[in-house]
């Protein structure tokens, strides 16, 4: 039902949720329309929540390999180990 591609950024998702809230607070939509809007809002919120729950993002470090800059996984304990 909801076009999830629209909410590829969290900014866009929040903006839509705020829009819906404002619309509902204006009292303009009828009950049926309000239920539709609320359903959409729930879907957006659930979608964001799922995204947030996805596995922890890795920490990457840029390394040069054969003259090319590439991402490698960064072991954050390295920073601790070499701390003065």
Partner 1 sequence: MLEQPKAYTVSAITRIIKATLEEQFQSVWVEGEISNYHHHTSGHRYLSLKDEHAVLKAVIWRSVGATLKFTPQDGQRVLAFGDINLYEKGGQYQLVIRRLQPVGIGALELAFRQLHEKLSAEGLFDEARKRPLPEYPRKVGIVTSPTGAAIRDIIQISRRRNPSVELVIYPSAVQGDGAEDTIAAGLAYFNTRDDIDVIITGRGGGSLEDLWPFNTETVVRAIVASRIPVVSAVGHEIDITLSDLAADLRAPTPSAAAELVVWSRDEFRRRLDDLVYTQAQQLSYLAEHAREALCSLLDRPVFRRPADLFNQRRQALDNSLRLLGAAGKNRFDRIRNRLSLVVSRLEALSPMKTLARGYSVSRRLDDGALVRSWKDAAKGDRLETILADGRLVSLVDETSGKS
Task: Report the interface residues with partner 1, using CB under 8 A.
Answer: 9-11, 14, 17-18, 20-21, 24-25, 27, 29-31, 34-35, 37-38, 41-42, 45, 48-49, 51-52, 54, 56-63, 69, 71, 74, 76, 78-80, 82-83
Residue 4 or 59: which CB sits closer to partner 1? 59
**Minimum distance from CB of 6 to partner 1 (Å)?**
15
**Minimum distance from CB of 52 to partner 1 (Å)?**
5
17, 41 contact by CB (below 8 A): yes
Helix axes 10-25, 31-53, angle to 10 degrees: 160
In sequence order, the β-bridge partners of residue 71 are 62
> Which alpha helices (DSSP H) does 2-30 contain, by range?
10-25
């Amino acid at each position: 039902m909801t076009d999830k591609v629209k909410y590829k950024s969290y900014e866009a998702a929040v903006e839509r949720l705020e829009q819906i809230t404002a619309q509902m607070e204006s009292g303009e939509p009828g009950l049926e329309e309000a239920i539709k809007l609320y359903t959409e809002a729930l879907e957006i919120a659930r979608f964001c929540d799922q995204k947030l729950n996805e596995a922890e993002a890795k920490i990457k470090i840029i390394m040069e390999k054969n003259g090319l800059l590439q991402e490698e996984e960064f072991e954050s304990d390295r920073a601790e180990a070499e701390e003065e």
